[in-house]
Structure 1
Amino acid sequence: MPASSLPRRPLVGLGAALALSAAFAWTPFTHAASGAVTLPPPATTGPTPTGDALQSAVLAGGCFWGIEAVYQHLDGVTEVVSGYSGGEAATADYRLVSTGRTEHAEVVRITYDPRQVSYAQLLQVFFSVAHDPTQLDRQGPDRGRQYRSAIFYADETQQRVAEAYIDQLDAAGVFDQPIVTRLDPLNAFYPAEDYHQDYAYHHPNQPYIVFNDLPKVANLERLFPGDYRDSPVLDTAR
């Protein structure tokens, strides 16, 4: 079913989009000026990778369009797929998830080469550029538990690295408000409908993308210039 038949975020005019962007700006002062914040790298990074096996991470931080767009431009990432985690297979459907009553969150599954980018580095981008971890059950103009900030860890190593980094950021006092990011075990990942994949790439002029997501990609380039890739890795397999 085409995306046009499933209105999810209003396609507003330029003036209204500017007003929405201002009204729902990130609240911490560190984010308010630039939409991002410079953070220290994680002190706990996990074991040094061996072999050439790819790994994956599942993260939630608001609409998956923007999270997907950010990681598509990060060196070392080989695939980013938008999807759902936290609920049952039977409710992993956009219409149901959008009600906020399925326990699912909108997530992205990031496949990456740990020899080029570490799980800890993915988390640094997650907390500094991809979303605001102090917003509870919302992100910018989007509200509901499906937009919660969450890390779905696949194993004890991911859990330990994520917990340590949140503790590190809390101790450093880099945000005005408490970090509300949940840490939950990854029970399953369900890919979202095809029209959600590579959404920002295919709809770069949509006002929602222009005012909420493209600035995140620009901030990735600004804060992580050595890790930024100009051409995004696209989900061409679907």
Structure 2
Amino acid sequence: MWSAPSFLAGTVLLALCSFASSGPAAAQEGIAIPPPAVDREAAGSNSETAVLAGGCFWGVQGIYQRVQGVRSAVSGYAGGTAETAHYEMVGSGRTGHAEAVEITYDPRQISYGKLLQIFFSVAHDPTELNRQGPDIGPQYRTAIFPQNSEQAEIAKSYIAQLDQARVFSAAIVTKIESAYTFYPAEAYHQDYLTLNPTSPYIVYNDLPKIENLKQLFSDRYRATPALVKAKLSN
């Protein structure tokens, strides 16, 4: 059974999440972008997964937990080994891991391409190299970990489409990393945004992204998040 983090644990986590911060950064604004020209048609399967990395996983998880069609979003690590898939070790920036989120979704309700549109539009800034907002290091890199060749092709095509359209003021630096294993993060990281809505880090860095999701993807937004702890307690 997962246990909610204590106030002290939350305080320590705040320090760790931005331990390499160079100072406050402006809260990210969402940007309206076109949907991918190449996407996957709804398949017979009712459950597929996507793994995305876009900075501190608290905010990325919190966003996708509020997207209709997403059944679960789990914070974790991808890009390194099982031995180093631990928060304190990943924080060194030397493990190869990125803080990532594994998204389980119903492809009959939402496509992989739509998940990527949300990823590039409101979840993070894909033009920042090895950092997001106040968090600096390769563990906060922007990356897509495709489950198969089809996801890899959709992601590659979409990045090229957005760059060609000059949607962003700089080139997208998101990497497509095909060789990986996803490792769930420690229990105290799961549902962190929902459990700690008044944390200064969450208020400043992540709640604005939730508002961006509501405004730019109102047809996909749901107010009640699909929480990890709620799922495990059933």
- Give the TM-score taking structure 2 as reference length: 0.90
Q: How do 1:222-237 and structure 2 match up within 5 A? A: 222-235=215-228, 236-237=230-231
Mapped partners of 1:49, 1:225: distance in 2: 21
- Deviation at residue 178 of structure 1 after TM alignment: 1.1
Query: Gaps spanning 5+ residues in structure 1: where?
Result: 12-19
Shift of 1:186: 4.5
Tell me, yes or no, if structure 1 residue 79 matches structure 2 residue 72: yes
1:226 counterpart SS class: coil
1:58–1:153: 8 Å Cα contact kept in structure 2?
Answer: yes
Stretches of structure 2 lacking an aligned partner (at least 5 in a row): 17-22
| In 2: Cα distance, 1:52 partner to 1:187 partner | 23
Shift of 1:169: 0.2
Find the aligned partners of 2:154 and 2:201 in 1 and give their Cα distance. Answer: 33
- Tell me whether 50-59 or 131-140 shows the greater mean CA deviation: 50-59
Residues 23-78 of structure 1 deviation map (CA, whole Å, 9 limit, x = unaligned): 4126xxxx6xxx110000100002x2332430000000000000001001100000
Alignment counterpart, residue 57 of structure 1, candidates 50, 53, 61: 50
Q: Where does 1:155-194 land on structure 2 (aligned, <5 Å)?
A: 155-194=148-187
User: Residue 34 of structure 2 aligns with which residue?
Assistant: 40
Cα displacement (A) at 1:202: 0.3
Q: Which amino acid aligns with 1:171?
A: Q
Distance change (3 Å), C-alpha of 1:152 and 1:129? same
- Asked if 1:221 is matched to 2:214, the reply is yes
Q: Residue 229 of structure 1: SS of its match in structure 2? A: coil
Distance in 2, matches of 1:53 and 1:100, equals 36
1:154–1:186 contact (8 Å) kept in structure 2: no
- Per-residue CA shift, 1:95-140, capped at 9, x if unaligned? 1001111000000000000000000000000000000000000000
Compute the displacement of 1:237 (Å): 3.6
CA contact (8 A) 1:10 1:208 kept: no
Please tell me whether residue 195 in structure 1 is matched to residue 195 in structure 2: no
Provide Cα deviations, 1:161-186, integer angstroms capped at 9, x if missing partner. 00000000000001111110010014
What is the identity percentage for the equivalent residue pairs of Structure 1 and Structure 2?
A: 52
| Residue number in structure 1 paired with 2:124 | 131
SS at match of 2:75: strand
- Report the Cα offset of residue 5 of structure 1: 4.2
Q: In 2, Cα distance between the equivalents of 1:204 and 1:186?
A: 34
- CA distance in 2 between counterparts of 1:230 and 1:5 reads 26
Letter in 1 for 2:13: R
Structure-1 separation of matches of 2:194 and 2:166: 35
TM-score using structure 1 length: 0.88
From the superposition, tell whether residues 192 and 100 of structure 1 become closer, same or farther in structure 2 (CA, over 3 Å).
Answer: same
Counterpart secondary structure, 1:8 = helix
Task: Give the superposition deviation at 1:84.
Answer: 0.2
Residues of 2 paired with 1:49 and 1:117: CA distance?
8
Tell me which residue corresponds to 1:118: 111
- The 2-side partners of 1:8 and 1:65 are apart by 11
| Aligned counterpart in structure 2 of residue 141 of structure 1, from 127, 134, 142 | 134
CA RMSD between the two structures: 1.7
Greater CA drift, 179-188 or 150-159 = 179-188
Equivalent residue, structure 1, for 2:25 = 24
SS in 1 for 2:177: strand
2:63/2:210 contact within 8 Å kept: yes
